[in-house]
Structure 1
Amino acid sequence: MKSHQSPQTMKPATAAKKLGVYLEATPAEFQEGVVSRAELSALQTDPPEWLRELRRNGPHPRPVVAAKLGVSISGLARGGVTEPLTTEQIEALKTENPEWLQKERATQAEVRKETVRIKEKHAEQATRDDQRS
């Protein structure tokens, strides 16, 4: 007896997150349905115009806003940015370069440097351990 497997589906919020778009800005039919893995793959490989437009102009979800500004999501919150932003708003923030953004970018740069330092330290330790074996 062969069992019939139904296609795996996900909630629209999960699909929106995987697509890097703000769910509330997607079309109603996307928000109200479920998305199969095949549909998600099709959206990723050949995005419809609404998806291309959202990715280009927003509004963008916080992880995308944070990445475009070069800060962490926590840094956005500390800077008072709690709502999704459009590409135009993000560019305006970059141009204004407020003090909080400068500070959060510096913090993010330090975090990246520390991450690299720790990774190198672990690699050195692994090399030493390998040489001892």
Structure 2
Amino acid sequence: MSQTMKPVTAAAKLGIYLPAAPEEFRTTPIGRAGLEALRADPPQWLVDLRRNGPFPRDVVARKLGVSRSGLVRAGVTEALDADQIGELIADPPDWLVRERETHRAVLAEKERLRHRPDR
């Protein structure tokens, strides 16, 4: 018997926002072969979701160059689409500038610690 995963897991692996997916995808467990088939030859709904969103928080955070915690601190709790993300990038609000700086500093510190000679 083939192993299946919940739709939420499959959506995470595909990098899509589950509530925006078609009902059949949201309600049907998917096997590994089915997931690989979606990756290899994505249907139009998947292509559109990946291009235009709405995107899950981890994808929104990555596109904006901030952490997921930074989104929460800024009060961004809803999924954003490509146009909304584009607007934020084009004219970054204070919170986005601040969170990008924080995120860069955290990543730099992680990198510094990773390359310490005493490790």
Shorter-chain TM range is over 0.9
Bigger radius of gyration among the two = 1
Aligned to 1:93, what secondary structure does the other structure show? helix
Q: Counterpart in 2 of 1:17?
A: 12
Which of 34, 39, 43 is residue 34 of structure 2 equivalent to?
Answer: 39
Q: Counterpart in 1 of 2:90?
A: 95
Moved over 2 A (4+): none
Distance 1:80 1:101 in 2: 11
RMSD over aligned CA atoms reads 0.8
Percentage of matched positions with identical amino acids: 54
Q: Counterpart in 1 of 2:71?
A: 76
Q: Do structure 1's residue 125 and structure 2's residue 118 form an aligned pair?
A: yes
Distance 2:35 2:2 in 1: 12
| TM-score normalized with structure 2 length | 0.97
Where structure 2 has 5 or more consecutive residues not aligned to the other structure, the ranges are none
Aligned residue pairs, count: 119
Higher relative contact order (CA 8 A, sep 6+): 2
| TM-score normalized with structure 1 length | 0.87
